[in-house]
Structure 1
Amino acid sequence: MSDELGAKPHYDLGPYVHDCEHPGCARWGSFGFAVDRAEPHWFCSEHQPEWKSRHEAQPRR
């Protein structure tokens, strides 16, 4: 038995465009960042935040 019986075809409408989340910027947010399973935040190349690697972000003892 097939899982596709009665399934409706999926039609893509094209790529999803994210706008930059920086206040006042209307450019395309091509850089998406998320921590764990949180919703990603999208930024353009000019406003992408400086992200630290996991080792840099850990506090030193």
Structure 2
Amino acid sequence: MSDDRTATMPAAPVHFEHWCDYPGCIKWGSFGKERSRGITEWRCGEHLADDYWDGRSTPRN
């Protein structure tokens, strides 16, 4: 009996660089907020947008 399944290669790993979008900041942008379809604003923890947690549960301290 033959195996009719086709072998597929896994997708290539993709790495995106997200730096903080705050003017003059060179830190890593860990927090992304989608501003419009396909456009995400990335910020570091220090420059987190005021509306970042809108509609989300805030982290527990």
TM-score, normalised by the number of residues in structure 1: 0.59
- Larger strand percent: 2
Flag as ranges the 4+ runs of structure 1 deviating above 3 A.
none
User: What is the RMSD computed on CA atoms of the aligned residues?
Assistant: 2.7
Unaligned runs of 5+ in 1: 55-61
Unaligned runs of 5+ in 2: 56-61
Identity %: 32
Aligned residues: 51
TM-score, normalised by the number of residues in structure 2: 0.59
- Larger helix percent: 1
| In the alignment, structure 1 residue 24 sits paired with structure 2 residue 29 | no
